[in-house]
Structures are given as C-alpha cells and as structure tokens.
Structure 1
Amino acid sequence: MHRRHLLAAALAAPALSLLPSVPALAQPQRPPMRTRWKVRASEGFDALAFLGPLAGGELYLPYYKADADVFAAELPAAAHAEIAALWKEAERAQFGLLGPNLSVIFSNGNDGDLAALIAGAADPEARLLPAYRASPYWAEADWRWFVGAAPRLRAVFEAMQTAGFAAFRQRRIGDIDARIAELTRSLGDYDVIRWHEKLTGRGFDPQIEVVLLQFCKPHGIKVQGQTFLQATDWGVPITVRNAAHEMLHPPIPMDGPAATAALALLGKDPLIPRIVADHDPKWGYTTLEGMLNEDMAQALDQLISEALGVARNPADRWRKADDGIHVLAGAIYGMLRQDRWVESGGSIEAWLADAVRAGRFDPPRLHAIAAQVLERPVDALWPLG
C-alpha cells in the first residue's frame, strides 16, 4: 500500500467508527502476469557486436575504443583489415550495419559461441537458411550478400577464436550470472506482452528473451523470435523500453494493404522521403518502408512505456535520437493519443488503413500533429536547427 493511502486510512478511522458497518468493497484483482522474462548472455552475439568497434565504426568507438585497440593487437593484421573491409562492403551493398544484421541471420539457436558462428558460416544453407527464410526478416538480397561473404566471415571468426576472444570477453563482462539473476527479478512486475497484444490487436508468445552483451552499445537489437540484445549495464527502465519496442518489429505486415497504402501516400510527402534520403546513414532506416516500420514501433512503444511508468518525454526523446529524424513517429504517436488508443486498443493495422483513408497522413495534417508532439515549428521539423 502506498504511504499516502496508509495516512488517509489512519485519518479516516475515527469518523468511520461512528457509522454502521458495511461490507468491504472487493478490490480489483490484478490480472495474471502475461509476460515471462528470460535473461541470458551470449558469446556469439558479443563477437558479432564487437565487429563494429574492430571495424573502427564511429558509433562504437566512444564506448569501446580501448577494448578494440587491446584485442586488435592480438589479431593478425590481415584479419583486422578484413573486418573493416567487410563492414564497408556490407553498407555499400545495402546489407546494412554488419554486426546487427549478422545477429539476425545467426539467431534462432546459432549464437552460443564463436564455434557456433564458425559452423554457421561454414554451412549456412543447412544451419541458418531455414529459420531465417521463415522469419519476418527474410530478404533474398541480404542472404545472397551473406552467402558470398560467409567464407571470409568464417576466417574472421576463426581468427577471433584463436586470438582468445572468449577469455577477453569474460574478463570484461565480469559476474554476468549475478547480473542476469538481478535483472530477472526486477523485470517481474512489467507486463509488456499484455500491452503489445492490446495495442496491436494480435497475439504474442508470452516469453521475452533478453540477451545481455558487453559490446553492443549503442544498439538494442531485435533478432529472430521474441529475442533482443542489449548492454549488460542498462537498467530496468531501458530494458523495459527496449522490450516494448523490439518485440513490435514489424508492427504490421509491411507488404500488406495498410502499409502499402501508407507508403504510397508517404512517398508523395515533401518531407518524409527527404529525411529518409538525406539523413546520416549510420542511423539506418534508409528506405521509406524501414522508416515506417521503425516509427510505428516507436509510437507504440512510447504508449507502452507511458503505461508502465518508464517513458521519456516524447519531445525530448525524438529530439535527441538519431539527429531528430523520427518525425513520422511523433505524428503517429500524436494520432494514437488523439484516439485514446492506450485505452481502447485494437488492430493497429486496421487503424493505419483507416487513418490513411481519412486523410490523416496527408502532409499538412501529418506535419501539424508532428509539430505539436515534437514541439518544433511545422515548417522546421527537420533537420534540427
């Protein structure tokens, strides 16, 4: 019981004693917990995440430059150079950020350690393709690039194994078992899945798997299944926000009629396609479909985080994230707030189709609601001044 409730009960007691007794009102019961949390670590995912610092990626060096310098000294020079080359080639081929996208391909049981990565790269058709092809992340062009790069990746993984990555990571990660136990206990009060189901209108597996990594900052990464990767030292509010967001990908079928109609309209917007084309590609979201996918998930996760008491202020959140590019997220969030979606819930795919048909995604209306939420002038939504 909250302290203010205890105080109110104590002050009311003398007055209540003068009244006839009445049956106590039944207190509303808390619904059974829908979410099951599973927390673990992964050497394999950490090795994939560490490719970013080893490649010299500017996103990663503020966190891991010292670690990258120490471990690079143990690698053969050719292997170190190969990592940087593969990272650049992946970006040029529109495979995307090498470490995060490899994590998607190697997920679904292929991430245990470097030996598992080596085995997957040696026989990708048998070990990786069936699960990846069946996942929402399947992209034939990405698979073709990966298969072409697999022998080189295997050689990189073997070099990391020989250089002692497992022992290096263990020294850096510390008592990960204690951290897993602590986080598992703390997450028990946060029923994220119940909110996912209410606000999307679809079913979710009750289990959320959180994989703690030493080397993944600044990313939280959704992989196959209801699994996401995050840094070991991120606290409960960040973990809950990550879970609220990552489980939503994709929030609707991106090849379905609602998404197709929204993308057709957004493609004519004078602002949103310009954001997609002109923003710094290090943030990702370099296609209009990718931006819609991400920003619908961000709008919904903001509502979930608010409901669970772990939210950031939306204007601050979207001003500080990714150079302010998520204008569409602010607009969608604003529309959902107008519709009191957190109270009603329902099919988010049907909601999007109705919003497009009603003209709410027409540029003037879209920009106006985004400006209101983001606290920016409607004619200066992006880039940020």
Structure 2
Amino acid sequence: MERRLFLAAALAGLAAAPHLAKAQQGKPSRTRWKVRASEGFDALAFLGPLAGRELYLRFYQADADAFAPRLPAAIRTDIAALWQEAETAGFGLLGPVLSVLFSGNDDSSLAALIASAADPEARLLSAYRASNNWSESDWAWFLSAAPRLKAVLEAMQAAGFAAFRAERTAGLDARIAELTRDLAAYDVISLHEKLTGRSFDPEIEVVLLQFCKPHGIKVQGQTFLQAADWNTAITVRNAAHEMLHPPVAMDGPAAKAALAVLEKDALIMRIVRDHDPQWGYTTLDGLLNEDLAQALDQLIGEALGVGRNPADRWRRSDDGIHVLAGAFYGMLRDDQWIETGGSLEAWLARTVETGRLAPARLHAVAARVLERPVTGLWPLIKS
C-alpha cells in the first residue's frame, strides 16, 4: 500500500526545535495554512494502540490500558485480528490506510465514520476513486471488512471515546490558533512548485491528532495528519514532505526507467526485502516514491531554516533504510537544484540516462551524504 500511503515518522525531531527562519523575504507567500482537529481520525489512529502494536504502545500504553477494558472482549480481539489481516493482505497499516479511505467524506466524529462504514460505496467510493490513492485491491479488502470495522467504531462510540479523547486534548483550540499563526511565515508551496516543476493548490490542511504518533499521514488532497504537540519545525517538515507524494508520476517513463535500474541493485533490493515491515515501503516503487520525496523535503527544510542534519536524520529514521533518499539528496545538491529547480521528472530521466543510478555511483553519493562506508550502507551497525 505504501505506493499510495505515505508515513513520515518525526521521531528524530521530537526533542528540540531548530531555529525557525522566515520564509522567502520580499515575496508574497503562495501557501495558505488551515489547521484543525478531528475526532474521527483520532479514533482510527487509536486502533494501533488498541491492537496492541508495540510501535504505538510506546506512546499510548497508558491510554490503551485505560480504554480497552471498556470494549467488549470480542471487539478487542477483532481489532487485533483486523490489523493483522490488513498487513497480511497487503492493505497496509490498518489505522493509517483507513484514514486515507475515510478522508473523502466527513471525518469530524465517530458518528460520521460509522455512517460512511455503513454505506461506503455511496459515501466514500467516488472521492477515493478520483484520488491518487486509488487501489482496487485495497477497496475490495475494505468492503469485505467494512461490517466488522463498523462494529468496532460503534463499540468505541458506546464506550465513550469522544469524552475519553476530550479529556486528553485540553487546550487543543489554543494549539490550533498558535500553530496557524506560526506557520504563516513558511511558504512551502512555492518551493514545491519550484523543485518539481508542477502546480500545487495553495492550501495545506494540517489535522492535529492526539493518538497518531509516530506517523505523519498524507490523506486525500493536500491534507495530512500529525500529532498536536509536534512543534512548528516538525509541522513545516511534514508539510514539505507529505504534499510531494507522488514526487513524479509513478507510472510514467522516468519512474519506470529508474525502477528498472534499481531492481538490479542488490543493496536496494535487500533493503526492500529484509527491513522491518512495520516501517512500510516493502515494495521498490514505494521506496522510490518515499525516498525521492524525502530528498526534496530535505532541501525544502534547509531552505526554510528547519532542516535536520541529513546524516543524523537518515541514521535515526526507520532503522536507516532510506539509503536512496541520501543518494537522491546528494545528487540534487550536486546539481544545485534548490537554486535552479525545474521538472523533477525530467531530472530523474536524465539521472537514469547518464548512469548516475548505477550501483557504484549511487552508493558512493549515498555514503558521502550518510557518512557511512560504501560497504556498510545498510543494515546499520548497532553500537
């Protein structure tokens, strides 16, 4: 599913906010920021802790322990079963992927999600099919699971999830106002357009959630979900990343040519095949899509004064699997892409044609950026 759903873990940046530079001086901002909350998306995010997944319990163990006993035992069992079935079927991480599907309609409350789950073809299909997230296989799996998902959501509603969440989101309105004010200094859309050669809608919608760590989640349109307590720097970095998906047309000639070269790279294919699947990106096209977007968002973050050190960023993220991101970033830096910009698709095609994706050349650039030996790019040596 990761070729359509993109998760941006912000763990490496949670501890401290770097200096926040102002957006491009003297230019009118192209970016309009909208910040809001969502009970419905928070309910979907909370399925991870309720499923007992370690990735989420490290943040929400106490919350899961407090709420899970309110649910019938059969529902608790089925949440865990649905999560596992979704992964086994290739649907992906249950909560995040459901967020994509439900984002085509009202997400404001559990009641709204229940109504959509009761009649998904009338309430969700049209928007989902028209989005660049569309997957026939994912939709088929969702339809088969919709009655069970509806029962889970109804049980959460009956158990008082709305009040449970409200107790934990005190001050959220003030946080929305604060973040809306702070984000006005950052013109992300202008850099998106410059570095891809594409046009973007000027509005970025940020949905603040209580239960979504460690993910930032791109849903339909130019909307992404993130934790309410992540700072402004993380929010700008998430926006820089999430709006880029897909950075190029993944069914276009440039992406297909890149995939044809990369699938012969033993290291890259070992990363795709052998990394911990909890991070996603278990297909080559998913990893290419993600890592090209990460390379661009690193350039944007640096230009806006919120960038992290690249070697540190990619060492701490997802067990170091984003070797391609480091390589693409290094090549784009070598080409002074932040100054020139242009068609990213044409850039990728030239990169393939000139042999820069050949393993020896790609690995050398990645090693330089990631500050790792060429022979030790992945897996990382645990200290």
Residues 48-197 of structure 1 correspond to what in structure 2 (within 5 A)?
A: 48-197=44-193
Taking the aligned partners of 2:230 and 2:30, their CA distance within structure 1 comes to 23
SS at match of 2:226: strand
1:43 aligns with 2:50: no
Q: 1:219-266: CA deviations, max 9, x gaps? A: 000000000000000000000000000000111111111000000110
| AA at the equivalent of 1:264 | A
SS at match of 1:228: strand
Structure possessing the higher radius of gyration over alpha carbons: 1
Residues 1-385 of structure 1 correspond to what in structure 2 (within 5 A)?
A: 30-385=26-381
Q: Alignment identity in percent?
A: 75
| AA at the equivalent of 2:191 | W
TM superposition shift of 1:110: 2.7
| AA at the equivalent of 2:246 | P
TM superposition shift of 1:175: 1.7
TM-score, reference length from structure 2: 0.93
| AA at the equivalent of 1:291 | L
SS at match of 2:207: strand
TM superposition shift of 1:29: 6.8
TM superposition shift of 1:269: 0.5
Whether the aligned pair in 1 keeps the contact of 2:131 and 2:220 (CA below 8 Å) is: yes
Change in CA separation of 1:147 and 1:343 when aligned onto 2, cut-off 3 Å: same
Change in CA separation of 1:210 and 1:143 when aligned onto 2, cut-off 3 Å: same
SS at match of 2:140: helix
Q: Which runs of 4+ in 1 moved over 2 A?
A: none
SS at match of 1:212: strand
User: 5+ residue gaps in structure 1?
Assistant: 1-27
| AA at the equivalent of 2:349 | A
Taking the aligned partners of 2:201 and 2:116, their CA distance within structure 1 comes to 26
Q: 1:71-97: CA deviations, max 9, x gaps? A: 001111111111000000000001000
Q: 1:9-32: CA deviations, max 9, x gaps? A: xxxxxxxxxxxxxxxxxxx97111
SS at match of 2:258: helix
| AA at the equivalent of 2:40 | G
TM superposition shift of 1:109: 3.0
TM-score, reference length from structure 1: 0.92
Taking the aligned partners of 1:284 and 1:68, their CA distance within structure 2 comes to 23
User: 5+ residue gaps in structure 2?
Assistant: 1-23
RMSD: 0.9
| AA at the equivalent of 1:283 | W
TM superposition shift of 1:270: 1.1
| AA at the equivalent of 2:143 | V
Taking the aligned partners of 1:262 and 1:358, their CA distance within structure 2 comes to 11
1:10 maps to none
Taking the aligned partners of 1:54 and 1:173, their CA distance within structure 2 comes to 18
Taking the aligned partners of 2:349 and 2:215, their CA distance within structure 1 comes to 31
SS at match of 2:346: helix
